[in-house]
Chain A
Amino acid sequence: NAGVTQTPKFRVLKTGQSMTLLCAQDMNHEYMYWYRQDPGMGLRLIHYSVGEGTTAKGEVPDGYNVSRLKKQNFLLGLESAAPSQTSVYFCASQWEGPQHFGDGTRLSIL
């Protein structure tokens, strides 16, 4: 039972490049979330999903897109990366109880 798995763990991009972060969970959770964590800012919600095929905007959605084609996977896309998107990205999944987090993806945009 792996819980929540995020890939990749680290990535360096140039401004304007695109990429997709993958989150996979094996707990059959309905709800999944993408957060970004910046120093002194806590965890801020980017997008979330309440089930397969559904997505919704969180607190800081601009510059990101998401898809939930399968219940176990939640993808976060950056279409044109900007230096302001340098951050640590965490995925989480949940069903009724607490949210369970992945190990994070450290993303640097040069």
Chain B
Amino acid sequence: GENVEQHPSTLSVQEGDSAVIKCTYSDSASNYFPWYKQELGKRPQLIIDIRSNVGEKKDQRIAVTLNKTAKHFSLHITETQPEDSAVYFCAARTGAGSYQLTFGKGTKLSVIP
């Protein structure tokens, strides 16, 4: 089955700096890659997603890049703010004809004011 590795597990940045979280996946047939943000005690919420026919997608301060050849994708947050502090999860849709997601183990991002 699909395997998703996520790094780093924790990340601390100064307010205003950029943060990058990286994920690799194993199934070359995976075609959909969402990112979720989970604040303490809350539900995971989708912040951005990308499909395999696109190399990059941006939404204000958040961007995701996808390298299908290397089977990795990354989340970029620019001009970080304290409210960006949360756990971020990447995920990959498991193979063709399936809507299951396999999640990475998460990155705890701390933005220091």
Which residues of A are interface residues toward B (Cβ below 8 A)?
A: 31, 33, 40-45, 48, 50, 58-59, 90, 94, 96-104
Q: Are B42 and A42 in contact (CB under 8 A)?
A: no
Q: Which of A48, A94, A103 contacts B43 (CB 8 A)?
A: A103
Q: Does B55 contact A (CB under 8 A)?
A: no
Q: Which of B43, B100, B104 contacts A45 (CB 8 A)?
A: B100
B45-77 interface code vs A (CB 8 A; 1 in, 0 out) = 110010000000000000000000000000000
A31 to B94, CA, bound (A): 14
CB neighbours (8 Å) of B1 from chain A are 59
Please report the C-alpha to C-alpha distance between residue A59 and residue B101 in the assembled complex, in whole angstroms: 11
When distances are taken between beta carbons in the complex, the residues of chain B under 8 Å from A31 are 99
- Chain A residues within an 8 Å CB radius of B25: none
Known: A102-B43, A103-B42. A94 touches B34 (CB 8 A): no
Instruction: Take A45-B100, A96-B99 as given contacts and tell me if A101 and B43 are in contact as well, using a CB distance cutoff of 8 Å.
Output: yes
Known: A45-B100, A94-B99. 12 other contacts (CB 8 A): A42-B6, A42-B104, A42-B105, A43-B89, A45-B101, A97-B49, A98-B46, A99-B34, A100-B46, A101-B43, A101-B45, A102-B43
Q: Which of A31, A43, A96 counts the most chain B CB atoms within 10 A?
A: A43
Report the minimum CB–CB distance from A31 to chain B (whole Å). 5
Which of under 10, 10 to 19, 20 to 34, or 35 or more describes the interface residues of B? 10 to 19
Contact between chains at A40 and B100 (CB < 8 Å): no
Once A90-B43, A90-B44, A103-B42 are accepted as A-B contacts, the answer to whether A98 and B103 lie under 8 Å apart by CB is: no
Shortest distance between the CB of B37 and any CB in chain A (Å): 11
8 A-B pairs, CB-CB below 8 angstroms?
Answer: A42-B6, A42-B104, A42-B106, A45-B102, A90-B43, A100-B46, A101-B44, A102-B43
In the complex, residue of chain B having the shortest beta-carbon distance to the beta carbon of A58:
B100
* Distance from A94 Cβ to chain B, minimum over Cβ atoms (Å): 6
Complex CA gap A44/B100 in Å reads: 11
A98 and B42 contact, CB distance less than 8 A = no
Docked Cα-Cα span, A110 to B43, in Å, equals 25
Chain A residue with Cβ nearest B9: A40
